[in-house]
Amino acid sequence: MVRFSAVADRRLRGLTRWAQPPQLTVAAFGALVLVGAVLLSLPSAVDGGERASFPTALFTAASAASVTGLVVVDTAAYWSAFGEVVVLALIQVGGFGIMALATVLTLVVGRQMGLRMALRTGSETKVVTLGEVRQVVTGILAVTVVFETVLAVVLTLRWWLGYGLSFGEAVHTGTFHAISAFNNAGFSLYSDSMTGFATDPWITVPIALAVVAGGLGFPMWVELWRFTRHRGEHRHWSVHAKITLAMTGVLLVVAFVAFLALEWANPATMGGLGLRGKLLTAFFQAVMPRTAGFNSLDFGAMNTQTLLVTDILMFVGGGSAGTAGGIKVTTFAVLAFVVYANVRGEPTVHMAGRRLSEGTASQATTVVLLALGLVLAATLTLMTVTPFTLDQVLFETTSAFGTVGLSTGITGDLPLVGELVIVFLMFVGRIGPITLASALALRRRVRVYELPQERPIVG
């Protein structure tokens, strides 16, 4: 038997402790942002040959890699063809990479929980194998390629045949927006995003459907695939799938009704549109806070009530292990059922025909409270260093944390400190909920003793 020296053994243990899934996720994502910032700092990345300042390159790289969509410069006018390719690559790698990492982390956490249960019951459990990881990554790649290809073809044909773009320009524009839409990035080659196509269903509807598809998450697509293959009594949905589908549907309906009701008579948004235009723009904007960042209406001209509703939608986000951000619809649903169970005085929490496992409620509460604290702290900071109103700043910080990309138009006017705050929010908002939830699940410990119980006054 080969024995390690004491120093080598300590180094190995230290490396093993550092190289955990959450730490690796942070390191990989940070490296992606830095590489993107360096590439965007090259003179060839800017239209005209001038070198972009590093803060501008860093902000754009962080926004693209985190699939957010907030920009401090006009994407189409400022960046060269090479710069646009770098942005597109960051979106693709960021969306695909985080989706793959999140799915693998979910698999690791699930097996870790299974191992603990097996140790208690004396049964056996499997570990996550390299073959399973390869299968997950291959599946995510296949789903990504299919959706992006179909959307790129539809958009290319529309811009080529309907708007007179040359075939090459239409392919470039369609491919860019297809990748941006499925990855929920919100980057656009048009300065006003989708405002010029607000009443064109051949552009807005496919983009909206791609945003929903990417925001559902890969685990949801696996469920759908299995559901179509099984027949009869073998068809069943997991709790995750039931929650994701139900909450997605509910939030889309609520958002659609809210946008329609609050902006119906606003002359600066949808007030001058006909019934068909109002329905189409309300649907498109109801989808975008999931978190895409495209807009067919000017958010800077929207009512305060609409901005607040959008804040809530952006904070919640989309499905787990997908391209959407936010705290995720499953986390929101868990907290809602926890409140419902406590109001009814029930000792355990039941949802979708199952009892929640131990620790799920506390993990969800931790994620939400930390996210809320981060957004509020960032909002206070920006209000201190900028002249903007609370509505504008809260919208910006929530959009950054939720990796949405919607803005009231203040992003380009932020000072350097404000830009760095937004970069931090986008970075944490993209990987924070994933790494925090997995770290909480993987770091559960058993106390060797308990202190005497006492209940403080609550409320």
pLDDT-based confidence at 149, cuts 50/70/90?
A: very high
Q: pTM of the predicted model, to two decimals?
A: 0.83
Rounded Cα distance, 3 and 446, in Å: 31
The residue with greater pLDDT, 447 or 401, is 401
pLDDT-based confidence at 99, cuts 50/70/90?
A: low
pLDDT at 88 over 80: yes
Tell me which residue has tokens 């985190």.
66
pLDDT-based confidence at 418, cuts 50/70/90?
A: very high
* Average pLDDT of the segment spanning 279-285: 95
CB-based burial, 63-87: b 16+ in 10 Å, e otherwise:
bbbbbbbbbbbebeebbbebbbebb
pLDDT at 160 over 90: yes
Q: Are strands 354-355 and 350-351 parallel, antiparallel or unpaired?
A: antiparallel
* Average pLDDT of the segment spanning 71-93: 92
pLDDT digits (tens, 9 = 90+) for 369-403: 889 999 999 999 999 999 999 999 999 999 999 99
The residue with greater pLDDT, 162 or 119, is 162
pLDDT at 431 over 90: no
The residue with greater pLDDT, 432 or 180, is 180
Q: What is the pLDDT of residue 316?
A: 93
* Average pLDDT of the segment spanning 16-23: 52
Q: What is the pLDDT of residue 19?
A: 47
15-24, 270-279, 364-373 — which one is most confidently predicted on average? Answer: 270-279
24-28, 374-378, 438-442 — which one is most confidently predicted on average? Answer: 374-378
Question: Where along the chain do its domains lie?
Answer: 20-230+237-442
- Looking at every residue in the chain, the average pLDDT score rounds to 82
pLDDT at 11 over 50: no
Q: What is the pLDDT of residue 438?
A: 57
Q: What is the pLDDT of residue 189?
A: 92
pLDDT at 69 over 70: yes
Percent share of the chain, pLDDT over 90 = 48
Q: What is the pLDDT of residue 242?
A: 86
Q: What is the pLDDT of residue 325?
A: 81
pLDDT-based confidence at 230, cuts 50/70/90?
A: low
Secondary structure in 3-state letters for the chain: CCCCCHHHHHHHHHHHHHCCHHHHHHHHHHHHHHHHHHHHCCHHHECCCCCCCHHHHHHHHHHHHCCCCCCCCCHHHHECHHHHHHHHHHHHHHHHHHHHHHHHHHHHHHHHHHHHHHHHHCCCCCCCCHHHHHHHHHHHHHHHHHHHHHHHHHHHHHHHHHCCCCHHHHHHHHHHHHHHHHCCCCCCCCCCCCHHHCCCHHHHHHHHHHHHHHHHCHHHHHHHHHHHHCCHHHCCCCHHHHHHHHHHHHHHHHHHHHHHHHHCCCCCCCCCCCHHHHHHHHHHHHHHHHCCCCCCCCHHHCCHHHHHHHHHHHHHCCCCCCCCCCCCHHHHHHHHHHHHHHHCCCCCCEECCEECCCCHHHHHHHHHHHHHHHHHHHHHHHHHHCCCCHHHHHHHHHHHHCCCCCCCCCHHHCCHHHHHHHHHHHHHHHHHHHHHHHHHHHCCCCCCCCCCCCCCCCC
Q: What is the pLDDT of residue 232?
A: 56
pLDDT digits (tens, 9 = 90+) for 196-219: 999 999 999 999 999 998 888 777
